[in-house]
Structure 1
């Protein structure tokens, strides 16, 4: 699965800065729990920060 940033944010664990349209994560792999947190309102900002996209997008 691929994820794309829908709101500018700085990852509190890695310090990486993400802008709208950036892929998430920038490098490596993210754990499912972290993806779920950022894709929902269960994060510090209380809004989804990333969304899942199809492989061909």
Structure 2
């Protein structure tokens, strides 16, 4: 998800954090770029790390 509003980004991240048991472990965000990625279960930890690295570089 791409946001043009930091407040909406933060609210979305909080919502996914609050529902972590449903959303799964693969939630990555960049507050600088206002991008949030949520990937359903089934992604390996190593692929999750790749996604995290990409998001962190934004």
- Between Structure 1 and Structure 2, the one with more strand by share is 1
Which structure is larger by alpha-carbon Rg, 1 or 2? 2
What TM-score does the superposition give when structure 1 sets the normalisation length? 0.30
- Between Structure 1 and Structure 2, the one with more helix by share is 2
What TM-score does the superposition give when structure 2 sets the normalisation length? 0.30
